[in-house]
Amino acid sequence: QVQLQESGPGLVKPSQTLSLTCTVSGGSISSGGYYWSWIRQHPGKGLEWIGYIYYSGSTYYNPSLKSRVTISVDTSKNQFSLKLSSVTAADTAVYYCARRIAARPHFDYWGQGTLVTVSS
C-alpha cells in the first residue's frame, strides 16, 4: 500500500520561501510510471493543482504559480519536494502531496496534508 507523508514548517514569513517534502513509502519513485504531485487547499476553499514531477525530473506547473514554484525529486530518499518563493498570506493553505498514474488522469493516493500559514 502506497503512503505519502508531507513534512515541513507550519509557519513561513511573508516574502520567504515555503519548502515542503513528501516521503513516499510502499513504492519506489524511481520505478517510473507516476507523476508526483502537489495540490493545495486554501482554508474553506476548493483544491488547486500546483504541479507535478516525473521521476526523470520532467515538471509540469500551474501557469498561475509557475514563476514561483519548483518541484524536485530525490530518488535516493524516495522523496519529492515543493518550493514556493515570495510567499504572501494568500499562500496560506493545506498542502497535499499526491500520486498520479502517468497513463491515467487521476490522483489515486494522497498524503494527509499539512497546513502552512504565512504570517510574520
Q: Is 59 in the site for other proteins (CB under 8 A)?
A: no
Binding mask 23-42 for other proteins (x = CB under 8 A): --------------------
* Between 15 and 117, CB nearer to other proteins: 117
Please give the grid coordinates belonging to residue 105.
488522469
Closer to other proteins at the Cβ: 75 or 110? 110
Label the pairing between strands 93-101 and 114-118.
antiparallel
Q: Smaller CB distance to other proteins: residue 13 or 101?
A: 101
CB of 58 to other proteins, least distance (A): 13
Q: Whats the size of the chain, residue-wise? A: 120
Residue that is written with C-alpha cell 507523476 in the block: 35
Beta carbons within 8 Å of 24's beta carbon, 6+ residues apart: 2, 3, 4, 36, 78, 79, 80, 99
Interacting residues toward other proteins by CB under 8 A: 46-49, 60, 62-63, 96, 104-108, 110-113
